[in-house]
Amino acid sequence: MTSPAPILFAAPHRLAFLAGSLGLAAMALWWPMQLAALHFGWPKPPAGSLPAALLHAPALLLQTYPAFIFGFLLTVFPRWMSQPDLIARQFGPVSGGLAIGMTASAIGLWTGANTPVRIGFLICAASWALGLVVLAAVVRANRRSDKPPCWHAVSALAALTIGLGALLLVCAFLIAGDPRLLRWGNVLGLNGFILPVFLTVAHRMVPFFAGNVVKGYQSWRPDWLLGAVWALLAARIAGELALVPDLSALACAGLAACTGLMAWKWWPRGPAPGLMLVLIWGFAWAPLGFALAAMASFGLPLGLAPTHALALGFAASLLVAMVTRVTHGHSGRPLAMVPLAWLAFAGVQLAAAARIMSAIQAEPGWLLVVAALIFAIGLLPWLIRNALIYLRPRLDGRDG
């Protein structure tokens, strides 16, 4: 029988997705325990001087999600530009570093030890920087070949660069303790990294996939959309960082309009497989989230509802859809939603809805715990199944 180590380096997504799956499972179990201890008086998990409530967002946005994002982009970047697949020497240190960093941070979160959390974030930052170098080399090779620019790759690379800046701000907060650094890191992490990455990948993936599986589908993905999304996200970032709510509101209204147009144009007008439907259903959270953000910036008391509509409803839904597609496609399995994938997707929808309801109702503790438990119960079986797939050879006997 083949040992796990060579298998994990047989394709760029394997180790990164395994690390992301285990990291997300650890987070999905850790967070409801923290909330239950806070609101229900359950036994309190070990805690250090770094409050769990402050670590929740950066650990998810800048450690867990990035493992999946790097696994995906290290796989598709060369294919987007018709170049050879990356080899283990190129992607292995990136995925390995992210796995080590996430493990250290998870140990720190579960034991209440501050030092492993700090070390874990710093290791992830170093691995992230290395990943940028690897992906930038693919873009440079495309430019040297005199091929047209791949704007999806350029857009994703820009988002990854901003994401590294956000991660470094969080690292600085963990060392210096200045809460402004954490706020800046969270704003940049969501609006400059997570949202543009998922919007860019959706812009590339949804029309392409739908065109292959939906009869008579009219593909639509103009390049100007990427430019418009980036301009509006930049305006939102400026409004959030400079505390100018009117600018943020106008930017979010524009983003709601852009993503609403994308959802309407991309929506299949005929029968579509489940894997296509979850992509578009998940994408539908984007216009809703941006509309909520615009209303909140205009003064409506929505609390963290817009943030969770985007970071949980939108990003986590697309994560389930995209990870399922890559996991199945690169393991010799049919491109289809299996029951555990449907459970994970449904869990994300219910958890996002419950979390938004909680924000609108001034954060009742029981509803926060319910949302976190639904998220964990929905995702854990899917994550475990996926983790086992990454440790096994392809079913069709091919390499990768």
Residue 398: inside a domain? no
Q: What is the CATH number of the domain that holds 380?
A: 1.20.210.10
Is residue 80 assigned to a domain?
yes
> Can you tell me the distance from the alpha carbon of 258 to that of 242, in angstroms, rounded to the nearest whole number?
24
Give the mean pLDDT of 16-31: 97
What is the pLDDT at residue 2? Answer: 58
Q: How far is CA 300 from CA 239, 243, 360, in A?
A: 17, 16, 10
More confident residue, 51 or 134: 134
Does residue 105 form part of some domain? yes
- The domain total for the chain is 1
Q: Which residue has the tokens 């190129």?
A: 90
Query: With 60 as the cut, is the pLDDT of residue 275 above it?
Result: yes
Checking if the pLDDT of 1 tops 70, the result is no
How far is 323 from 343, CA to CA, in rounded Å? 14
**Residue range 84-103: average pLDDT?**
96
Q: Supply the DSSP symbol for 209.
A: H
Q: Is residue 13 part of a domain?
A: yes
Q: How much is the pTM?
A: 0.96
Across 348-356, average pLDDT:
98
Domain that holds residue 240: 4-390
Residue 144, in any domain of the structure:
yes
Residue 118 lies in a domain: yes
Average pLDDT of the segment spanning 354-372: 96
Percentage with pLDDT > 70 across the chain: 99
- Mean pLDDT of the chain, nearest integer: 95
Residue 395 has what pLDDT?
A: 92
Instruction: Say whether pLDDT at 218 is over 90.
Output: no
Asked if the structure places residue 395 within a domain, the reply is: no
Q: Is residue 4 predicted with pLDDT exceeding 80?
A: no
Question: Quick check: 242 pLDDT over 90?
Answer: yes
Q: Is the pLDDT of residue 400 over 90?
A: no
Mean pLDDT to the nearest integer, 389-395: 95
Rounded average pLDDT over 109-129: 97
For residue 400, being part of any structural domain is answered with no
pLDDT of residue 216: 84
